[in-house]
Amino acid sequence: MKVKIGERDMEFGSELGELRDCNDLLDAPEAIQARMAEDGYLLVRGLHDRDAVLEARRAIFEYMQENGEQIKPGTELMDGMINPESNPARLLGNKEITHQPPVRAVLESPAIFDFCEKHFGEPVLSFDYKWLRQIGTSEFTGAHFDNVYMGRGSQRLVTCWTPFGDIPMEQGTLCICAGSHNLDGFAKLRETYGQMDVDRDHVTGWFTGDPHEITENFGGQWQSTNFRAGDVLLVTMFTMHGSTNNVTDRWRLSCDTRFQPASDPVDERWVGDDPMAHYAWHKGETKSMEVARAEWGV
């Protein structure tokens, strides 16, 4: 099976491995912590109630239809068929939809808070800003560290990726470069690119759109899987990740949320009733990643 990531076709089972879940460790917090330390991610199957996730999916599609007619006429709403004539409404950080009760009931469910509190061994908080996305045909996310976007607070911050529906790899699933958070080959990358701040440094965020460039130059293995409604994937701030391409004609719905120990400092850009978000990125002159990489020597 070939899976497309950026401009690359990758063979699933060799170039692209299978993410392993941690469900057998759910009653062993120390084992969960050890798995995160080893892999740089935690895949939990069926953490959320499936019906609750599908109810949230319906609410999101209803909002998209009311604000841009983004579902193809004559098709079932829940199929999420893309209307090519639509002008997609903004979902990212839009509290009109991210904080609707059925959506928030998933993103801030007791299940995810309980899991994160077991992982950290203490109470946690979640950012108020929610990165809800509708990903269309041919779209994908390039390889990056999350620390470059939200690295001003806790050093224990994690990203939680929640798919709203059954998402096969051909529809644009998250993919992880396993071990990139601690492999020696990534050390210089973590010390240079990984310490960048997009608002402070005015540099484009993705390190590369070519997954082969990462593994050939730094090591690790790309991994992904088919997701089902209820699954979640957590990654560290220094786990290199991106997504497969959506090669279908259906919207991929997903949301990134962030969790950290409540006692740690918080990145002020992402909390409060009206988070400021990125206040300087893409404003004024922006340095290309090509130029920045030449300066860093990576």
What's the confidence (pLDDT) of residue 293? 97
Chain centre distance of CA 298: 24
What's the confidence (pLDDT) of residue 284? 87
What's the confidence (pLDDT) of residue 26? 95
What's the confidence (pLDDT) of residue 295? 97
**Class (C level, CATH) for 2-296:** mainly beta
By CB neighbour count within 10 A (0-12 exposed, 13-18 middle, 19+ buried), where does 83 fall?
middle
Q: Where are the beta strands (DSSP E) in 118-231?
A: 124-126, 131-135, 158-163, 174-178, 221-224
CB burial string 84-109: b at 16+ within 10 A, e below:
eebeebebebeeebbeeeebebbbbb
Q: Where are the beta strands (DSSP E) in the chain?
A: 2-5, 8-11, 16-18, 41-44, 124-126, 131-135, 158-163, 174-178, 221-224, 232-236, 241-243, 252-261
> How confident is the prediction along the chain (298 residues), in pLDDT tens digits per residue?
899 999 899 999 999 999 999 999 999 999 999 999 999 999 999 999 999 999 999 999 999 999 999 999 999 999 999 999 998 999 999 999 999 999 999 999 999 999 999 999 999 999 999 999 999 999 999 999 999 999 999 999 999 999 999 999 999 999 999 999 999 999 999 999 999 999 999 999 999 999 999 999 999 999 999 999 999 999 999 999 999 999 999 999 999 999 999 999 999 999 999 999 999 998 989 999 999 999 999 9
pLDDT tens per residue, range 83-101 = 999 989 999 999 999 999 9
DSSP letter for 110, please: H
Contact 220, 186 (CB under 8 A): yes
Which residues have C-beta within 8 Å of that of residue 128, sequence separation ≥ 6? 270, 271, 272, 273, 275
pLDDT tens per residue, range 226-267 = 999 999 999 999 999 999 999 999 999 999 999 999 999 999
What's the confidence (pLDDT) of residue 180? 97
Q: Where are the beta strands (DSSP E) in 124-283?
A: 124-126, 131-135, 158-163, 174-178, 221-224, 232-236, 241-243, 252-261
Say what the pTM is: 0.97
CA distance 92 to 254: 10
DSSP letter for 89, please: P
What's the confidence (pLDDT) of residue 249? 98
